Amino acid sequence: MIPSALARFPTWGTAALGAFTLLASGCAPLPLRRFPLADVLWNDPDQNPHASRPAEREIMSVWDGMDKTVFQRASNGLRFHPSREAINVNALDEVPNSSWFTNRLGWVDFSPEHVARGACTPGQILQKPWKIVGGKPNGINPGFIIVDAAGKKALLKFDGNVQAERNSAADAIGAALYYSAGYYTPCNQVVAFVPTDLTIQEGVTVKNELRQKVPLTLEKVQQILQSANTFPNGQLRAGASIFIDGKTLGPWSYLGIKEDDPNDVVPHEHRRELRGMKVLAALTDHIDSREENTMMSFISGADGRGYIRHYMLDLSDTFGSIWVHEPKGVADAMSRRLGFSNYLDLEHIPIDFLTFGVITRPWDKAQFSPDTGNTFGYYEGERFVPDTWHNGYPNPAFANCTERDAAWMARIVAELSHQHLEAVSHLGKFTNERYRTALVSIVKQRRTKILERYLTQLSPLMRPTVEQGKLCVVDAAVRGGIRKAAERLYSSTAYVGNSLDVGHESQKHTVDKVGGVCFNLPNALDSTGSAPVYIVIDLIVYTTGADHPGPARVHLYQTDMDKYQIVGLERPSTFSPPK
């Protein structure tokens, strides 16, 4: 019986099962992985509706942090966990569309204006007046649950006195970037209002300092509004997050599966979109990448049948959040460590203790910018190292991130152009232009380091297509701006038929300035005479004096004289021929 995870991804599942059978029988070395003549899986069936709504899930944030930091680490230390690649990867080394992820940047026309919209549609712009219908349930900064004049419900949050404007700006910009990269997020926006835009629904309560429910009074509202920053015109500033669709079921986990969800068959720590998210989190410094900032929502139709959609929530910690707890000296020390070490790092702390702190750590040189530090804290690009970035709590999916998972996300990040970053930065509505330009500059610097690290080890060639008898791909390194098209050297070698004989070699190809490159395809029917013919083409790209990664190995069938079907793409780490 084929395991359910393999059955869900047939384009590679058959090959994987065959390889396992050979290995188990003790036969000779494994042959080349051959892909079947079948369409590539682009839509995961995990959005198929089912009859029953799964149960809600609750977590305690304190317990979640302790569990990830101490108990899961201790448990993992007692078990053998062989390294493995992500499961939910299709035949082209990509992630299919699912209830977790949708291919957007690079796959559809995402203009800078489109990226700047994020998950927001014109109908989601809040209309005044707003009615307060509840208090903000958790978090450091105060806020309200409101309903606008059109009936849309949103969470209204204020920046507070620390890092003015960053919280609301980061929530809007971070959500737009995550959405554009492929994740589900709410529509987050920075809003301006005056106190008279707010009314209080009768019977609304909030929790006081003793966690007791008390009536929300006008005096309490005015007290909370004092923590709001203002725009130059005197209007109050806040961040607003539109409530997501469906019935919320609580946070999802980065580990295991939800047992009562029949669509959930891939362990979350082995989902590429969750593993590769580590790279996007490093780009934005999303240190709070944990379960509490996620949400499951049951999307159902009129008949009650539905499926769970998985959201990322609360990106307000991105772009340089600092530790605000007292005492101040401890807060400063913790803030320097953010992004370099876990909150309670059981690797760094014991070593520092045993060596009396003589080892120089990266955070020892962290700089609080005199110009923008009051907004972005220690967020910078000069000392940023993609491989060593840490979020606050250990994340099981991030811990399983492999070179291939990280390279997958780097190919998405390469699609974020300077124009995209400029457009999305305006979502922050910074009152000082130098904050906006500083943020764009830092993100660009971190982006370049991510692309240099992850697009130079494995082939950056992606998205293969057949156009007029040519095999065309996109060079992500050129697309991302870390390599110039005129300096790239390309070559291809074709291996034809069951014996994979070398049938075609070429070094002259057409290249455009945005990374598109095409290679001549061999006519394999000239030598074999019958279709379909299996063809493997190794595509090589490098820049003299720089990177020289392994090939992009494209698998095709020639089904007629001028018809080819792409069935697979691999990225070997060596140049050994496909035998």
- Kindly give the residue spans of alpha helices, DSSP state H, lying in 365-459: 373-376, 396-399, 403-413, 418-425, 433-454
What separation in angstroms does the CA of 441 have from each of 112, 169, 434?
Answer: 17, 16, 10
Q: Return phi, psi of residue 344, to 5°.
A: -125, 90
Measure the CA–CA gap between 87 and 107, rounded to whole angstroms: 22
**Reported pTM:** 0.90
Say what the pLDDT of residue 510 is.
67
Structure token pair of residue 50: 């089912």
Element (H, E) at 348: helix 348-354
Cβ atoms of 412 and 178 closer than 8 Å: no
Cβ atoms of 1 and 16 closer than 8 Å: no
How confident is the prediction for the chain on average, in pLDDT?
87
What separation in angstroms does the CA of 405 have from each of 36, 84, 269, 315?
Answer: 24, 11, 12, 22
What separation in angstroms does the CA of 430 have from each of 116, 169, 230, 460, 472?
Answer: 15, 7, 11, 36, 42
Interval 326-359: pLDDT, tens: 666 667 777 888 888 878 776 777 777 677 777 8
Say what the pLDDT of residue 16 is.
39
Structure token pair of residue 262: 């029949």
What separation in angstroms does the CA of 263 have from each of 45, 85, 248, 257, 290?
Answer: 8, 21, 17, 10, 22
- Report the b/e string of 241-259 with b at 16+ CB within 10 A: bbebebeebbbbbbbebbe
Cβ atoms of 529 and 518 closer than 8 Å: no
Say what the pLDDT of residue 1 is.
31
Q: What is the CA radius of gyration of the chain?
A: 26
Quick one: which of 520, 506, 499, 409 has its CA closest to 454?
409
For the chain, give me the number of helices (H) and strands (E)? Answer: 18, 20
- DSSP reduced 3-state for 524: coil
**Crossing angle for the helix pair 433-454 and 418-425, to the nearest 10 degrees:** 140
Measure the CA–CA gap between 222 and 575, rounded to whole angstroms: 67
Looking at the predicted structure, is the pLDDT value of residue 19 above 50? no
Quick one: which of 97, 156, 148, 95 has its CA closest to 123?
148
Interval 489-514: pLDDT, tens: 999 999 998 888 887 777 666 677 67
Interval 221-245: pLDDT, tens: 998 898 899 999 999 999 999 999 9
403 or 25, which is more confident?
A: 403
Share of the chain above pLDDT 90, in %: 62
Looking at the predicted structure, is the pLDDT value of residue 389 above 50? yes
Say what the pLDDT of residue 141 is.
65
Between CA 263 and CA 237, with CA 251 as vertex, the angle to 5 degrees is 130
Say what the pLDDT of residue 79 is.
53
Looking at the predicted structure, is the pLDDT value of residue 116 above 90? yes
Structural domains present in the chain? 1-31 (no CATH), 39-320+392-454 (no CATH), 461-570 (2.60.40)
Cβ atoms of 143 and 158 closer than 8 Å: yes
How crowded is residue 104: how many other Cβ atoms within 10 Å of its Cβ? 18
Q: State the DSSP string of 165-211.
A: THHHHHHHHHHHHHHHHTBB---EEEEEE-GGGEEE-TT-EEE-TTS
Say what the pLDDT of residue 515 is.
85
31 or 292, which is more confident?
A: 292
Pairing verdict, β 130-135 and 198-200:
parallel
Cβ atoms of 305 and 407 closer than 8 Å: no
Say what the pLDDT of residue 213 is.
84
Question: What letter would DSSP give residue 230?
Answer: B
Looking at the predicted structure, is the pLDDT value of residue 14 above 60? no
Say what the pLDDT of residue 328 is.
67
Measure the CA–CA gap between 170 and 181, rounded to whole angstroms: 16
Measure the CA–CA gap between 453 and 430, rounded to whole angstroms: 31
414 CB-near residues (< 8 Å, 6+ apart): 106, 451, 455, 460, 476, 477, 479, 480, 481
Structure token pair of residue 554: 């494209």
Helix, strand, coil % over all residues of the chain, rounded to 5:
30, 20, 45
Among 112-121, 124-133, 505-514, 554-563, the least confident range: 505-514
Say what the pLDDT of residue 66 is.
61
- DSSP reduced 3-state for 255: coil
| Three-state secondary structure readout of 67-119 | HHHHHHHHHHHCCCCCCCCCCCCCCCCCCCECCCECCCECCECCCHHHHHHCC
Say what the pLDDT of residue 35 is.
96
